[in-house]
Chains A and B, each alone.
Chain A
Amino acid sequence: MLRRPGALVSPGPSVVVPVNHSPATTLFGKEVVTSRPSRGLEQFFTYVRGQVGLSILDLAGASQQNINYITNLGHRLYSEDFVRTLDDVFGEEDPNDQTHQSLIDQFLRQTLNFEQDKFDGVLVWDVLQYMTPALLTATLERLRTIVRPKSYLLAYFHSDEKAQQVPYYSFRIKDQQNLLLAQRGTRKPAQIFNNRSLEKLFQKFESVKFFLTREQLREVIVRR
């Protein structure tokens, strides 16, 4: 279904409605896809550009655009659908289950079972905000282990603190400065972060850099 240019499907008043985007389009007759500039993406690929043979982990599931973009740069791509595995392991409805240690271990085994210092960059996208504190802490600790020192993570967080549901996306790389966002649905965030809480979240990493956008979406570049 086509909406007015720049709008995403809005099932509720708390859903972020991006502005100043290119017109929304349908993909395979269903999905709404919008294009937006991304300073975080630009920074991330500035760091990995000029090198070849790097290992990049994409946590948003495989998409044709990301595969093409990253492999055309000469890198090896590892794909992992974090949100799908999150639902498989913990169920979609009750995020409180994310506190069970055995399920946390199972989730980490299924998603981040890699050797130490394997990756040169991780495209985390917006998946961290769907994790409760116990799972999030364990996940970040594992991520810190599997990425090499001085490498980067790119993450997104919704910043609307009143939001009950936020749209969650398949993030597709259009070019070094622009993303295509294909909405996969809406989800209840387990946590909403502000700048202070994000700094605290990534305190074990070397540096955190924020890019605030007009669409209540924080882009964060984290250096290991």
Chain B
Amino acid sequence: MSIFNKRSQEEVPPAPRPTAAPPSNPIEPKKEATPLSSMPFKTPEPDSTRGQASIGKAVKINGQIYSKEDLYVDGDVEGTIELQEHRLTIGPNGKVHSAVKAREVVVLGNIQGNVDASDKLEIRKDARLVGDIKTARIIIEDGAYFKGSIDIVKPEAAKSSAASAPPRPQTAPAAVANAQGAAVAAEVKR
């Protein structure tokens, strides 16, 4: 045995024995190092779904929604939706009868109400939007239906008007729908 082989054997600490889910075949020791694969909540998620609340297609909400994270709406909402610095996605089954305010709005379903998207609005194919739009950028796909006016607001102008605007009043807790709670309700109703 050479001296190099001896040193490398000394430096390698003994592998700890797994306390749970022992390998079924001891000849394959590599499987011991992958116990995380059985924990789905640690699986890396794509950026589009990370930190995003969702309202399922079987959920109907009457009231105001105020969210500090991205929101995906696939159900019915009547009221207002406000996501100051986040993205709102209206899914293909989503029906929103309300004013909408967000940094970015993506519409695959149906919105009947005014949309204020400080950064960008996307109206996808087969989506339907009836209302007045105020945004810095707009993308509308062929096949989308839009009826209303479009006001392009430069980001600088939007910032200055936001700075001069009074602070947003606090909404009553009962009227604010918790997006995470709504997602749970969606699971129950399905």
Contacts and interface: CB of A to CB of B under 8 A. Distances in A.
Nearest to B138: A67
B148 interface: yes
Interface stretch (A76-84, A132-140, A211-219): A76-84
B142 A28 contact: yes
Contact of A71 (B142, B147, B152): B152
A63 B150 contact: no
Question: DSSP class of B's interface residues: helix, strand, loop or mixed?
Answer: strand
A25 to B, nearest CB: 13
A67 B151 contact: no
Interface in B134-155: 138-142, 144-152
Nearest to B135: A71
Interface centre among A27, A55, A61 (most CB of B within 10 A): A61
Interface string B117-132: 0000001000000000
B142 A77 contact: no
Contact of A62 (B140, B151, B152): B140
Interface residues of A, number: 19
A63 B150 CA distance: 12
B152 A79 contact: no
B142 A27 contact: yes
Most buried by A among B138, B142, B149, B152: B142
Given A31-B142, A62-B140, 9 more contacts: A62-B123, A62-B145, A64-B140, A64-B141, A71-B150, A77-B150, A79-B149, A84-B145, A170-B142
7 contacts: A55-B149, A61-B146, A62-B123, A64-B139, A71-B138, A76-B151, A79-B146
Interface of A: 27-28, 31, 55, 61-64, 67, 71, 76-81, 84, 170, 182
